[in-house]
Amino acid sequence: MSPNERPRPWPARLIDTESAAPEPELQARPELEVELQSVLRAWANEPGPSEEVIRRAARQAVDHFEVQQPITTRSWKWPAFLRSGRIALALAAVLLVPIGAALASKLLPARLSRLGDWFGGRHAIRSSETPSQNQIPSPPALSTGDSLRDVVPEVVAPPAPSVMPVARPERPTHRAVASAAPARLAAPDADLLAGEASLVSQAIALANSNPRAALDLLSDYWHQFPDGSLRGEAAIAELSARLSLGEQAEALVRLDGFARDDFRGMKGTAEELRVARLELMAGAGRCGEALPLLEKELSVSAAAPRLRGRVLLAHAACKASSGDEAGNRADLKRYLIELPDGPRAAQVRHALGQ
Amino acid sequence: MMAVETESTDKARLEELYRLYGKQVARWATRLGGPRADASDVVQEVFLVIASKFKEFRGEAKVSTWLFRITQNVVCNRRKSERSWGWLKASADPVARGLPTSAADPSEPMELSDAKARVHKALDGLGEAERNALILFEIEGLSGEEIAELTGVRTEAVWMRLTRARRQLIRLLARMES
């Protein structure tokens, strides 16, 4: 501020103003001024969090500080032109490897051509659902200088067709682990689970405060553990992070994907995710699709009351959007009957004019 | 051995930080969070973020400024998330537009509860910087200079935010009344 410039006076606090209204709009509306003052005064007089709340939060934070691990989020990103370049490079590599291998098998000497056969044959089988006999790589040509020992194993045992489903090793049960070589079986499983838990717990912790970083971590999670044990928790964290970013449409796309997969491996969280999907569908105007599913949810009496309330409100919203005012009011009344102290009860009462 | 000593010193410093500033940070968090925020939840999240960022603090800003920035960011993110979840969880909202955003406290007189809901709804309509400046000035009772120091902006900017916030708040309230 220059020395000639006069400092502007700070306005009087609305809360302190007894008679002279500080704003022109308030002068014309004395009742508004009174209302505003009474609310601000009541708010200012509200006690802050209790000592116990503060002590507990501090204790938990100090405990967390002791055990916390560095969060491995990617702090850099490829520039946009390089990102697109990387995709082009990857595509080129995918196309060039078999071409190169085919050329190699034609042009290079016999010993090298085995490598070409391996590449070419393997790729051909991979890209086909039903490998035919002629896709199995032909035995490499022998040159006079080759020793049989170098070549025979590959002639006798051509590479197995990769389209055959490879049996996934099952996770050992506790009993199995206890009975057979526990140290060797349990260690990788525990490590896997610890790795999963580390990624998911960090993502959950960041879902609100740094949703972008949480999504980066979750992207790593889905990549590393497509069939992980914490898929449900990861899905919840992703949903939370996407909603924090206001990405409702993307969240719905993800939930649609999980629903297509029947929320596989999400036993503990499937219900929550299913309800969130229906709410998002209602919000996105997909009521035609959502209404029968919502009705199905409502018919399940075992649903948790908290989720049931949400289903009822989504149902009410869909009824309203289809012009069924009576149905909407019936749902809102049902909400009050079933959840008179529910989290949205006050607003529902207000909506019903009660 | 050295690392263990450093860890325990850091832990002691963190405990001291909570002892000195915990109450203040908790008050900022609940005031900025508004009536919808669960006080213990928001305080816990702010304290956790402080713990996770503690080693990054190099003393370039005042401790109170650093703590306030963290609190402000956490609350802002929570409010954003709450808006999304609130929208998600309250599919009835589009049905009953203009509803107050906070649940009524049964111990309050009905008129005050309604007025409170209206004021908070109007506050929700302000920008985050304006809203924070207004809350710190009116509810926390801080001076403009103190707000400038806490938020790390010039006093002039605080004056602007405050003036804008008051006008906008009154305009929004008047619109709701009419």
Residue of B nearest to A246 (CA): B84
Min distance B30 CA to chain A CA atoms (Å):
7
For chain B, give every residue range classified as CATH 1.10.1740.10: 1-88
Which residues of chain B are within 8 Å of residue A64 when distances are taken between CB atoms?
48, 51-52
Give the residue among A225, A221, A263 at the shortest CA–CA distance from A238: A221
Interface test with A, best of B95, B176, B178 (most A CBs within 10 A): B95
> Distance of CA A321 to CAs A147, A173, A219, A326, Å?
79, 50, 35, 12
Please determine, looking at this structure, whether the domain spanning B1-88 carries the CATH number 1.10.1740.10. Answer: yes
The complex scores an ipTM of: 0.78
Whether residues A32 and B177 touch (CB distance < 8 A) is answered with: yes
Range among A18-22, B110-114, B121-125 with highest mean pLDDT value: B121-125
Distance CA A220, CA A201 (A): 13
- Top-confidence residue, B11 or A177: B11
Percent of chain A with pLDDT over 70: 60
pLDDT digits 0-9 by tens, B53-62: 888 887 777 8
- Across the interface, of A57, A332, A348, the residue whose CB is closest to B44 is A57
pLDDT digits 0-9 by tens, B49-94: 888 888 888 777 788 899 999 999 988 887 777 665 554 544 444 4
**Whole-number average pLDDT of chain A:** 69
Cβ neighbors of A35 (< 8 A, separation 6 or more) are B115, B118, B119, B173
Whether residues B43 and A49 touch (CB distance < 8 A) is answered with: yes
**Chain A CB within 8 Å of residue B115 CB:** yes
pLDDT digits 0-9 by tens, A75-96: 455 555 555 556 666 777 777 7
For chain B, give every residue range classified as CATH 1.10.10.10: 109-178
CATH fold for the domain made of B109-178: Arc Repressor Mutant, subunit A (1.10.10)
Interface test with A, best of B91, B158, B178 (most A CBs within 10 A): B91
Interface test with B, best of A43, A55, A287, A333 (most B CBs within 10 A): A43
pLDDT above 70: residue A152: no
